[in-house]
Chains A and B, each alone.
Chain A
């Protein structure tokens, strides 16, 4: 029987944005669940509702009275663009985050990217091992 080889060019799941996000979320959830293991009994006692309301009283308007240090960084992974971050303010927004519905993901997210790129830049410049 003659078989014809068919060349396929499928994209691995992890090479797509959706695959990368789903894969990383699954990975992080797994890591968190493993970390939770030793605290299993504690978790059952806390209950989801208590957990979700842990930090709801943080006063966001107090957060903004902060130092204002404009930091300009280069972001090699997003073209060669310059992202200007209000570093001091972002840090302070982060400090005032509530956990549940009011989690200030943007502030932490941008700060995370800032940290990520800063580390890479420092590594490139040989300032960091």
Chain B
């Protein structure tokens, strides 16, 4: 499996630390990523016709093991579809999260968050440039 260029768990952990999140950070991260996965599959399912959904359910019924079920899903949805749904759903979700979060931050937290995003964006660009060389 290819590793992500940026680790989403680490990113969330950093954001939660900056905003002084008082709860269980790991639990929050796990719930949030599970939500993103669920929303991704929901978006994919919503794009199927009734007939396609029925056919997919029948295939899943016939698949006995998790591995077989996984293969059924991969046959149904292309990597492009999955990636696009994942991107769109996470983008929407995270945007809404930030919309609620930002007004509660003090000046220092906003500044720190801004710096984190800037440095992360730069780090990402550097990594991409290195990979291209």
Residues of A bordering B, CB below 8 Å = 14-25, 28-29, 32, 35-36, 39, 41-42, 45-47, 49-61, 63-65, 75, 77-79, 81, 83-86, 89-90, 93-113, 115-116
Output the nearest chain A residue to B107 by Cβ-Cβ distance: A79
CB proximity to A under 8 Å, residues B73-104? 73-74, 77, 79-80, 82-84, 86-87, 90-104
Which residues of B does A touch, CB under 8 Å? Answer: 1-9, 11-12, 16, 19-23, 28, 31-33, 35-42, 45, 53, 56-57, 60-61, 66-67, 69-70, 72-74, 77, 79-80, 82-84, 86-87, 90-105, 107, 109-111, 113-114, 117-118, 120-122, 124-125, 128, 131-132
The complex places the Cα of A86 from the Cα of B124 at a distance, in Å, of 9
| Chain A residues within an 8 Å CB radius of B3 | 60, 102
Measured CA separation A30–B117 after assembly (Å)? 29
**B61: nearest chain-A partner, CB-CB:** A45
Chain A neighbourhood of B94, CB < 8 A: 105, 108-109, 112-113
Contacting A106 at CB < 8 Å: which of B8, B32, B36, B118? B8
The answer to whether B121 touches A55, judged by C-beta atoms less than 8 angstroms apart, is no
A99 near B82 with CB under 8 A, answer yes
Residue of A nearest to B79 (CB): A58
**CB pair A77 B102 closer than 8 Å:** yes
Q: Is the CB of B86 within 8 A of A99?
A: yes
Tell which of B8, B11, B19, B70 touches A21, judged by Cβ atoms closer than 8 Å.
B19
Contact indicator A84/B121 (Cβ below 8 Å): yes
Q: How far apart are A53's CB and chain B's nearest CB, in angstroms?
A: 5
**When the two chains form their complex, are residues A108 and B91 in contact, meaning their CB atoms are under 8 A apart?**
yes
A78 to B40, CA, bound (A): 29
- Chain A residue with minimal CB distance to B7? A106
In whole angstroms, what is the CA distance A50 to B4 when docked?
Answer: 20
